[in-house]
Structure 1
Amino acid sequence: MQKLEFYVTAAPGTEEALRDELSELGFAQVRLNRGGIPFFGSLEDGWRACLETRLGQRVMLLLGRYAANSPQSFYEGALKLPWQLYLSPAQSISTAAYVHESQGENPNFVALKLKDAIVDSQRQHWSERSDVERQNPDLRAFAYWSRGKASVYLDLSGEPLFKRGYRLSGGQAPLKETMAAAVLRLAGWDRKTPLIDPMCGSASLLIEAALWAGNVAPGIWRQRFGFERWANFDELAQEKMSALRGACRHKSSGQHPRITGSDIDPEALKRAQENARSAGLRLSFRQMPLRELQPEGQRRFLVCNPPYGVRLEAENRLFQELGSAIQRLHGWRCAILAGSPACLRNINLPPEKIFNLKNGSIDCQLAVYEVP
């Protein structure tokens, strides 16, 4: 059976962690690439990636790759692709494109040419065409065009994969679940050491930690992925997908070390508790200011994403409190995802590691410390 090529997109700075994750999950021919990680396998492997990747943002299936030196040759190449394998006129579509500056073309224009190729191909096969639906299409197609070569992908994910399906409320600017999972892996948490987030907000880091430790598939709450709306997703495919979901549930242990969250905001803690319960987890939460954080008993792992963008005076005071708190945590490992340089300046320790990341559009640094 011919192997298909897939591409799992990654947030900037998380590519190596995503490569390691996909390798651990048993996907074949995984290799490091900027912006995402390719692998090869069956269509069912692509489905499994949607269910099991914690770090991947989207899972894409390569439909075809061809030479294209002009908008017309781009269109002609796209027209020849086997759209009828995955799409009928009954399904709606949307298109998007990334175009390297070497091509000198507008991405919106290229996305339009891709749409033209799809519907013209349909007219040749069925004398009918799909409707365009920008917000909630049945099939999303994406083109990458650079230096005379075009690659066209189908998005298996549908909604981006950080939308796990368990979050009930997020509060202001919640950390995306895929980034939370990346932070935990990059920071070196072993899934055994007790974990604490003293500024937990809506608990993204804590919930993702518990799910990872318990081997709970992050996509298990999703009602439907994008590929489940494709023309080729028939009754047999539904049975196979049901079996995949069942296998994921069977592999889950649900066991995790003690995981604790605290915050000074009672509304944030209420949201955190609701989200944890929605994910089927029993985590510990309490209202507590940073100044009361003390190293009690065994070694722990602290992880947090301090708020930023608040009033300058309040922000500086918060970062000073965090720096003082970390100094007290002798023997602990601490990982701070900082969206403000002022945050790390208040931690008077040399970091063991620093990773440059992006939390949405915000440049961040993940600094990891071993407190002596």
Structure 2
Amino acid sequence: MKQIRSHGRDLGWLVVSAAIGLPAPVLLFLLVASLPATVAAGLGLGLFAAAVWVTRRLAGLQRRRAAAVLGAAVPASYRPLPAGAFARLRMILREPATWYDFAWLACQFVVGVVCFVLPVALWLGAFQCVTAPVLSAVLPEPTGYDPLVLELTGRSTVLSWVLVPVGLGLAVVAYRLPRPLVHGQARLAAALLGPTSKAVLIDRVGSLTATRAATVDASAAELRRIERDLHDGAQARLVAMAMSLGVAEDVIDADPAGAKALVAEARAGVGAALTELRDLVRGVHPPVLADRGLAAAVEALVLDTAFPADLDLRLDRRLTAPVEAAAYFAVAEALANAGRHSGATRIQVTIADTGTALHITVRDDGHGGADPAGGTGLLGIRRRMAAFDGELRLSSPAGGPTVLNMELPCAS
């Protein structure tokens, strides 16, 4: 029964595809009729705009249907339209995606009709072949409206029985054919309606430019933070120690006890300065991460959380230092966000190395509703991922749970 329903869905998909292609003759006629006038004097602007608008809607529908079949999005590659009717017209005329849409529409008209008619014809042929003996017995004499199978066999009983296995074979073909036809049309849509290689390259360059700018800004902000922490913390303590030691040097002969107290105070300041410097270095690059690797560093993070945490590590090798640092700080930020905002009582961290990518999942049982626009934590994680051409996917419905899926390329 499940297979029958799947076959019915495939046939329905082919029916809709044929219907999507049916407006092609009208739209292509509008295009051919309006284009010369549009280019010459703008007289056919309305017809051309209508043809483009309808074609893009049909193409968008087919993209969504193709994405559902292929399991991967088929993005459009239209550039943003400028202001002004004639400026938009020039953009649309120069847009390669416009002409790919019309090329797809012309192909879809032919392919959609053929892919719909072919299974129907096979089922009708299978039915006639299987029922040929019955038809031969029921219609022993020509009627003027004879089925094709009777004309082929000449109402021969032997030949009619020979066609029965042929009909069964046609039924098998008709049953199995729609699925390849559906995938074929989906691939055609992906090839003609998806972004061109030039569009992909332009988008890639834009993404890398934005990522580089964000990384530079983040690095500059991190340097400013380190400078501020050094200035307000360790540097201030070192200045205070220098002053205390200077005073102690001046009064050591006249007041040995006071000088001793000042030296003790300076010594305490040294300890505090060392602690602050260690904390600062740990924030830049934790020693445990450099010495023992990502697995041990994440274990230390999980042990330091304020609520129970489950850890699933599937790491069999040391990764490059930048990748380990990005993964470590991403997990640290995710745990901090869960502790501050989610109200979670338990968290689960999974890190798996697939050889080509490092997959990180952080899941908490909090109240959900996480929004990257609401703070800098998730934006910082996304920036770290983007610097390595990685990806962050967030799922946080109201009521929870919140799931962060991160992917970092880590091929050797």
Greater helix fraction, Structure 1 or Structure 2: 2
Greater strand fraction, Structure 1 or Structure 2: 1
Larger relative contact order (Cα-Cα within 8 Å, sequence gap ≥ 6) = 1
Structure 1 length-normalised TM: 0.21
Greater Rg by CA: 2
